[in-house]
Amino acid sequence: MRMTVDDQQLAAAAANGDAEAFSALLGRHYDRVFGLAFRMTGQRAEAEDLTQDICAALPDKMAHYQPSARFSTWLYRVVVNAAHDRRRRAATHTKAASGWGDWEVDRQAAIADTNSQLDWLTRAMQALPDDLRDTLALILDDVTHADAAEILGISPGTVSWRVSEAKKHLRALKEQEDAS
């Protein structure tokens, strides 16, 4: 049975061109990919677009998958890299678009967000610098510090430092609110 096969086996099969394995794998992980994309971007519409980027390029990436890597770690790395890529590209586009066109699109999506879940945490996350937010997004997804280090391509020490730094940021924000 397909669904009882573990991720690694599926991934290895997909890397060898097994379309069924690829579909099964993607179906299994789509929501996690989207979840992480959302945490890293802080915006639903952005997260949808980012997930689309990832889906479009995943077949190519899949071909280079090494069975030695844990699939979830590998996939997270794909997401993180795609998010960085997208941020970089957004940088070049900001001016071309002047942002206006996007704002309307984003506005619609975010009105929906505001009603339901644009809560303290989401805004606090948005206030974090990119590197801290990326790290925290992974840690809050129950990724271990060691895995996060591998995904982000930094040392485990740096992960721990960033997490404590992110906590410090959040705590400071919270204290400011409590104080006033």
Q: What is the DSSP string of 152-177?
A: HTS-HHHHHHHHHHHHHHHHHHHHHH
CA separation for the pair 51, 171 (Å, rounded): 31
- Determine, following the binding rule CB under 8 A, whether residue 170 of this chain makes contact with another protein: yes
Candidates 1-9, 42-50, 66-74, 148-156; binding stretch for another protein (CB under 8 A): 42-50
- 40 neighbors 122 (Cβ within 8 angstroms): no
CA separation for the pair 164, 153 (Å, rounded): 18
**In this structure, what are the phi and psi dihedrals at residue 118, rounded to the nearest 5 degrees?**
-80, 75
Nearer to another protein, 7 or 49 (CB): 49
# residues contacting another protein (CB under 8 A): 91
Q: What is the DSSP string of 107-126?
A: HHHHHHHHHHT--HHHHHHH
The nearest distance, CB 151 to another protein, in angstroms, is 17
The nearest distance, CB 68 to another protein, in angstroms, is 22
Q: Token digits for 81?
A: 């890299």
- Determine, following the binding rule CB under 8 A, whether residue 27 of this chain makes contact with another protein: yes
User: From the list 10, 11, 13, 51, which residue makes contact with another protein (rule: CB under 8 A)?
Assistant: 51
Report the half-sphere exposure of 71 (CA within 13 A, side-chain side): 21
The nearest distance, CB 161 to another protein, in angstroms, is 14
The nearest distance, CB 150 to another protein, in angstroms, is 20
Task: Find the binding residues for another protein in span 66-85 (CB under 8 A).
Answer: 82, 85
Task: Find the binding residues for another protein in span 108-167 (CB under 8 A).
Answer: 109-110, 113-114, 116-130, 133, 139-140, 142, 163, 167
